[in-house]
Structure 1
Amino acid sequence: MTKQYRADSVSTVSRVTVQRGRSVTIPCHYDLKYENSVKYWCLGYSWPSCSVVVSTDSPKNNGKVSITDDPAHQVFTVSMKSLQEGDSEYYWCAIEIGGTETLDDFACLHLTVTAGTPGLWVDQQEVTGVEGGSVRVQCRYSNRGDTKKWCRSWGSCVAGNSGNVRISDDRLNNVFTVTVRRLERKDTGWYWCAAGDLQIPVHITVTQPATAVTTSTSGLWMDYQEVTGVEGGSVSVQCRYSNRGDTKKWCRSRGSCVTGNSGKVRISDDFTVTVSGLKMQDTGWYWCAAGDLQIPVHITVTQPATAVTTTDNGHGSQHISTSSQNAQLTSYRRTQFRREEKENALIGEGLFSHSVLLPPAGQTRNIKWCKD
């Protein structure tokens, strides 16, 4: 039996650029029919001769690369850390189909590790928002002339304000900000910023709002008591009150209080507290105070994630690179090649076929090459 390759069976980004020494997480999406199949991450320019690095059956983690499957959302993710230039290579998101007459489903991408500045990046690839609230993603770019877009993985893209999405472009500072409002639980998933032919994946997690907490029947409260920010960034806390005449304060637990702008704390007229220039030591408990009422809030400061850039596959030139065997990337060789007879479906999907002779001698095999 010959399996026909489907372009929408497995999907991922097609080109990723990471700064040397950093980490990256790649999402690989797949059809629902593959939720119970083995997923793996393969290294090498030629599909039949690529080497499996990690797999959801074994090994899931080799110390540098790890793989995690999320069948509920039909996506598996591959995380690579401490990347070096020698890790620059073609990789494959792949799903094991089984049988010697059937080719596994796959999607190709190219990873480039560079010491230079990426053309598109975000401070963190993971952001969290509360249901009914909003999240902001700052997409930083280098080429001001590129068209800016916000896309949902396996979904549509918007180049401007649309529905609950707002996009503002600050060309002076080379950053466009995406604000997703009126969040719903179904908004949880992978997205990406796009500038020209570059992309950067971002995962949004939408949580249920915590129960509103008050220190009296109607005096002082907030929507939720847990907020998270990235080191060097900022967080905002909305302190809601009923008595306009009360003195408003922002206090750190076992520390001092401020009633107005002070240092990196800004307090607006509607009692929104913004703490900027966050540091790891800012993690801890604080509280809003209005008159003799207080409401606690916890701030968590995390380290910024790796700057990453990606490009869509499209129909680029057929560039062939030499396979790099990096000693720091533990892998094992795929020993079983699977036969594939239908090639035409691959053409136009960034792949082309080329017939060569592979062992055993005299047996013609079709090799899949990744198109740059």
Structure 2
Amino acid sequence: MRAAITITFFFTLCLMSVFYRVKGDPVLVLNSSQSSQSSEEKFNLTDREKDHFTVTIRNISAEERGVYLCGVERDGSDDRPSKTSITHITFIKEIELNVSSQISSVQVEAYISKAVFITCKFPQEFIENKKFIQKDSSEKIPVDEQNRWVRHDKVLMYDDTSEGVLKVFIRDLTAADEGTYRCGVNTADDHLFTEITLKINQADHFHASNESAAVIGERVKLSCSYPEKHETIKHICKENNEKICQSISSSEKQRFEFSDSTAGVFTASISNVSLRDAGVYWCGAETRDTYLTSVSLTNNHQLTLTMIRREGDSVEIKCPYDENHTKEIKHLCKGKCFTPDAQNIIRSDEDYVKNPKISVKDDTALNLFTVTMTDLRAEDAGKYWCAVKDAFNLPIELMIITKDAVTHEASVGGSASISCKHIRNQAQRLFCRRDQLNICVRDGVHVSSNNRTNGRFSLTEETSAGVFTVKISNLRAEDSGKYWCAEESSGSLIFTEVQLHVTGEMTTSDTKRETSPEKEKPGFFCQLPEA
């Protein structure tokens, strides 16, 4: 980009104005008698005022870098010197002109309270050079270290020498973050930069933060919002330990699929979910320029993992930790560690012989703390937290299916009454139909303590007897399938499986059995074990 610069110098004597450019040898001179007034000249000296003169340099380029001197030329009198006068020059001011080379200029839009991720690309020959960020006219913020994240107030920067880029991440955006930024690299002469105009949109119409749970080995879908008004690339990234949202690695991307749901909303699906997928994900839109890529992050998901086991099974809970915590004591707790209601399961320095059902392994080479629990019981259901000092992993939810599965047969057109015995009076009672238990509870609930009637399904409670009963009326052939009666308390979910078979047309005797009190079927029980 070429521009013009105007420099104004003040003096008190009405003498010949002189502007010097010092660039090696010789000294280049421009004075008011030699200056052309043509606007096409490279240098234009205007000396029309009593106490100052102005020099304009057009089409600025790197060649105009250097030291300039301004002064007045005189021959000892107060008059302007003549062509034959013997003169001398009094210097008034010295100025060093730095000319920066702008690579490109890009506008980036982001949203209040959200985050933005910017990647600046530089020519290959400057990969090892020091990078910087500069906002408006403030001082440069240097990136003093390479290949690691460096924080300056809210701005986090990463000088990636392997890719020759500078990464910039700003979260929790406010109106004060709006402005013009320079994303630059220092060169031998001066520096190169990309100018970024960051606009912070005040209206936040995107979905709030969401919590999602996924069953290990299954698929999970995350609903994401993005700006509609631009042609953008759908983007998802995952927070690291420093809460910086980084792109999904190429080896993992093959498990991610994107599909449009409605205008401004897309779905990101993760297949074959594993322990490494737990974490906080940000969705948004990516826009690309030749030298800059920006990602406007608009909403996030906290993805926790669910493990489903039956009574008597075993489970391994793996807890990765930072290498700085290798020598620290690791904890596994039921409930968030170090809180009054948390139950300590085991510590890395404890002898697990105290409880033969629990064993522990701390692999310092892999930075992985693993707890194995055997012979599971219903009361083992709940959320488990791994912790090292004040650092926590996201909880892992353990759901338990009781041993006592129930099978029941009924006829089309009739009704079925399903009685479920619960353990705790304060628990939430649920009845649902889905193969995946976590989806059954969150998205497939037919009736619950909070929603007792739903179409042909109704729920009644007998608190004193510790039983809740679900009635399904006007049975259809398609009602055949797997159901679950469940109890939830403080994140602890216990299930009993129910298989319902609906067969044939209802006969006269079926009608009498269903409506006659003395001949009515007693139903069947989803009995949850006592605590």
Higher relative contact order (CA 8 A, sep 6+): 1
User: Could you tell me the TM-score, scaled by structure 1's length?
Assistant: 0.42
In our comparison, the structure showing a higher alpha carbon Rg is 2
Structure with greater strand percent: 2
Structure with greater helix percent: 2
